[in-house]
Structure 1
Amino acid sequence: MKALQIIGFFAALLSVQLVHAQRTYTFSESTKVVVTGTSTLHDWEAKVDEVSGTAKLDLNQQTLNSIDLLSLKFASESLHSGKDAMDKNIYKALKTGKYPHIQFILKEVKEIRKTGEGKAAVTAKGNLTIAGVTKPIHLTAQAILKQEEVAFRGEYTIDMTQYGIEPPKAMLGTIKTGKDVVFHFDLTFKTLPNGTSGK
C-alpha cells in the first residue's frame, strides 16, 4: 500500500510540474516591430503600433524546451513612418481596406538550440499572410528568457511582389520604393494571469 502511495505522490508531483512548465503567454508592452525598406530617394522605416498574439511555451529552469503554439497579428494601418503621404501609399499597397491584418502562424519548430544561460537559437517555419496572400516561410530568431517574460528577436526579409504587392510610389512615380522590405522584430511575451485564456 505504501509503495502505491509513493508512486501516486510522485505521479501527482510530476503532473504539477508539467502543468507549470507549459504556460500560455501574450504580448507585453515592450514588444517592438519595425519595417524598413529602400527607395530611389532615401531609406525609410515604419513602426508597427498594434501587435497581438499568443504563444504556448514549455520552459524549465531558464531553458526553452518547446514552442507548441505561436500566432501573431499586426494591424496593417498601425504602420506609421512619420510621414502621412508615405503611410497612405503603404496602406494602398497593402490593400488595408480589404485585408486589415498581417498574420503569422507557426507550423513547425525545426530546432531549439541552447546558446547560453536563458538563451536559445530557434529555427521554425510557418505561414505568413500579407494582403490576402499566404506563403510558407522559414524564420530564425534568438530567444531570451528572463523571469516571467520570453523575447524572440530577429529579422526577416520579404519580396513584396511575391505577395502581389506593387512597391509604393510617390511624387507621380518619380520616387519608387524597393521591392524588398525587412521586418525587424523583438516579440516579448509575458505569462497570462491564472484563468485567462489569451484569446
Structure 2
Amino acid sequence: MKTNIISTIVSILLLSLTVQAQTSKLVLEESKVTAIGTSNTHDWEGDVKKMTGDAKITVENANVTAIESLNLTMEVSSMESGKSSLDGNMHKTMYAKKHPNITYKLTSATVDSEGNVTAQGNLTINGNTKAITLKPTTTVSNGKVTFKGTTTFNMSDYGVEPPSLMFGAIKVVDEVKIEMKVTFI
C-alpha cells in the first residue's frame, strides 16, 4: 500500500515536470540576427549586437508544443558589418535616430504534431508595421529553446529607401534576407 502511494506521488511529480509553460528570456550570447543584402557591386550583411526578448513557450517531452507569446526588440544602431562606413550608412538608411528599434511581436502560432511551427507576427521597422509569417525550426536542449529560420522582405515595404552611394554608382537591392537564431531560457 505504502509503495503504491509513493509510486503515485512520483508519477504525478514526473508528469507535472514534462509540461512546462513558462516565460523565458532571450539569451543574447546564443542568439544571432543577421540582415543580408546585395548591391550592384558587392554583398553586405549586418549583425544585430543588442537585442532583448521574452517568450511564453510550452515544452512537453523535450518538444515545443505551443508558443503563447514571443517578443523581440533589436537595436538598429547595434547592427554591425565589420566596416564602419557601411555601418554608418546602414544606420542612417534605417533612420536609427528616429526609430531606434526593430521589433517583432508574435500574434499567433501553431505547432503541428510533428513539431513544425508556423508563427504569425508583426515586424516593425522604421515605424512601419507589417504582418509576417515565419516557419522556424525548434530545438530544446538543457532547458533552452532555440528557434532558427529565415525570411525575406523589401526594405521599401517598411518605408526604407534602398540607398545609392557615390552619385548612384553603387545601388543597394531592395530585397533583404534575415537569418535568425534566437535562444530563450
* TM-score strictly above 0.5: yes
Percent identity at matched positions? 35
| In structure 1, distance between residues paired with 2:36 and 2:135 | 18
| In structure 2, distance between residues paired with 1:19 and 1:62 | 8
Q: Which runs of 5+ in 1 are unaligned?
A: 1-5, 115-119, 191-199
Once the two structures are TM-superposed, the CA of residue 155 in structure 1 deviates from its matched residue by 0.5
2:160 aligns with 165
User: 1:109 and 1:19, CA in 2 relative to 1: closer, same or farther beyond 3 A?
Assistant: same
**Contact 2:117/2:137 (<8 A) preserved:** yes
1:194 aligns with none
Q: Which runs of 4+ in 1 moved over 2 A?
A: 16-20, 110-114
Note the aligned Cα RMSD (angstroms): 2.0
**Contact 2:18/2:60 (<8 A) preserved:** no
Q: Counterpart of 1:75 in structure 2: which amino acid?
A: E
User: 1:142 and 1:20, CA in 2 relative to 1: closer, same or farther beyond 3 A?
Assistant: closer
1:127 aligns with 122
Q: Which runs of 5+ in 2 are unaligned?
A: none
Q: How many residues align?
A: 175
2:96 aligns with 96
**Contact 2:38/2:172 (<8 A) preserved:** yes
* TM-score, length basis structure 2: 0.87
1:197 aligns with none
| In structure 1, distance between residues paired with 2:173 and 2:113 | 34
Q: Counterpart of 2:52 in structure 1: which amino acid?
A: S
Once the two structures are TM-superposed, the CA of residue 93 in structure 1 deviates from its matched residue by 1.4
Once the two structures are TM-superposed, the CA of residue 182 in structure 1 deviates from its matched residue by 0.8
| In structure 1, distance between residues paired with 2:101 and 2:50 | 10
* TM-score, length basis structure 1: 0.82
Query: Could you give the per-residue CA deviations for residues 20-69 of structure 1, whole angstroms, max 9, x where no partner exists?
Result: 61111111211111110010101111111011100111111112111011
**Contact 2:18/2:61 (<8 A) preserved:** no
